């Protein structure tokens, strides 16, 4: 069976925090103590009053109380951010954490919201800005003099190893950007069969470009056990996949991971067989700390 790592996505929006979630720092510590491989945070500030934590600061809190787990952005919206400031933040986090950062990036799922307007980020051209940021970031992190789009020559220190970069998105364009400009692909809410098709395209595009085959991390929802809150959360999530993302009911049932630890381990294995290297799981329903322990139990069965 191919090896696969499993981590937990820490909820950074208040309405996603399930029962028993102890907060970012305590949650990260619990994930590490459970023996899982990573913690992650998402970057999704709307600016409309919905509570949301800023991703870099939240992941810094996780870094301060852990020593082993990977620290993942799933994902950071680069076109929303000034690349010089972002490089300084990522470099600082990489330096202080002992080089544990994994940088998932994307072009943004909510352009035009008040926060985008407030920071002066245009929806148009955001994919081009994403690629340009990916081109500039390695030199900035390496402490090299780097010329920014406005002509400014910038050198940051201390130099740090560039973290692995994963490009988020399910589309063929996202797969191609990952193959040409990154170390990995980060799709979300997809079945093993969809992952397998995407991985085949990813490897083909990388081979054509003469680049190593990128890794694949899949972002999913998980709720183990059979209690009512877990079942309800899973049914609601499956419905959202049909209503909001256009999946068929049959495919939607294949995306969330549930059941017993043994059944969850079988689902982990299915994603591994499809070509996934890492699963990033957002807990749905049930007691959060207990869910983490059940997921760790499933991971140990592989």
Q: Is the pLDDT of residue 258 over 60?
A: yes
Tell me: the pLDDT tens digits for 213-225?
Answer: 999 999 999 999 8
pLDDT given at position 268:
97
Mean per-residue pLDDT for 51-77?
Answer: 96
Residue 54 — pLDDT band, cuts 50, 70, 90? Answer: very high
Instruction: Report the C-alpha gap between 251 and 230 in whole angstroms.
Output: 19
Q: Is the pLDDT of residue 1 over 70?
A: no
Residue 229 — pLDDT band, cuts 50, 70, 90? Answer: confident
CA dist list (Å): 177 to 102, 168, 203, 208 = 17, 9, 12, 13
Q: Is the pLDDT of residue 15 over 60?
A: no
Residue with tokens 């397998």: 196
Mean per-residue pLDDT for 75-90?
Answer: 96
Give the three-class secondary structure for 58: helix
Q: What's this model's pTM, rounded to 2 decimal places?
A: 0.94
Residue 14 — pLDDT band, cuts 50, 70, 90? Answer: low
- Per-state percent for the chain, helix, strand, coil, to nearest 5: 45, 20, 35
Q: Is the pLDDT of residue 9 over 80?
A: yes
Task: Give 279's contacts (C-beta < 8 A, 6+ positions apart).
Answer: 4, 5, 6, 7, 217, 218, 220, 257, 268, 271
Tell me: the pLDDT tens digits for 265-280?
Answer: 999 999 999 999 999 9
**Between 228 and 218, residue with greater pLDDT:** 218
**To the nearest whole number, what is the mean pLDDT of the chain?**
93
pLDDT given at position 116:
93
Tell me: the pLDDT tens digits for 150-185?
Answer: 999 999 999 999 999 999 999 999 999 999 999 999
pLDDT given at position 20:
84
């Amino acid at each position: 069976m191919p090896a696969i790592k499993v981590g937990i996505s820490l909820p950074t929006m208040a309405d996603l925090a399930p029962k028993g979630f102890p907060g970012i720092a305590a949650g990260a510590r619990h994930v590490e103590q459970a023996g899982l491989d990573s913690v992650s945070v998402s970057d999704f500030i709307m600016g409309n009053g919905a509570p949301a934590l800023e991703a870099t600061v939240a992941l810094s809190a996780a870094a301060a109380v852990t020593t082993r787990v990977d620290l993942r952005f799933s994902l950071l919206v680069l076109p929303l951010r000034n690349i010089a400031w972002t490089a300084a933040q990522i470099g600082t986090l990489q330096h202080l954490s002992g080089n544990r950062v994994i940088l998932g990036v994307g072009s943004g799922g909510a352009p035009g919201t008040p926060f985008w307007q407030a920071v002066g980020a245009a929806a148009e051209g955001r994919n081009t800005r994403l690629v340009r940021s990916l081109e500039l970031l390695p030199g900035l992190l390496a402490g090299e003099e780097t010329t920014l789009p406005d002509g400014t020559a910038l050198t940051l220190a201390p130099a740090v190893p560039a973290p692995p970069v994963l490009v988020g998105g399910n589309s063929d364009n996202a797969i191609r950007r990952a193959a040409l400009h990154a170390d990995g692909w980060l799709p979300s809410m997809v079945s093993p069969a969809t992952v397998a098709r995407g991985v085949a395209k990813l490897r083909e595009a990388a081979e054509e470009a003469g680049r190593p085959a990128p890794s694949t991390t899949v972002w999913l929802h998980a709720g183990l056990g059979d209690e009512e809150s877990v079942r309800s959360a899973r049914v609601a999530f499956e419905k959202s996949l049909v209503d909001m993302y256009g999946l068929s009911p049959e495919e939607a049932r294949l995306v969330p991971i549930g059941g017993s630890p043994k059944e969850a381990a079988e689902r982990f294995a299915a994603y591994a067989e499809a070509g996934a290297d890492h699963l990033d799981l957002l807990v749905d329903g049930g007691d959060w700390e207990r869910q983490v322990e059940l997921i760790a139990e499933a991971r140990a069965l592989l």
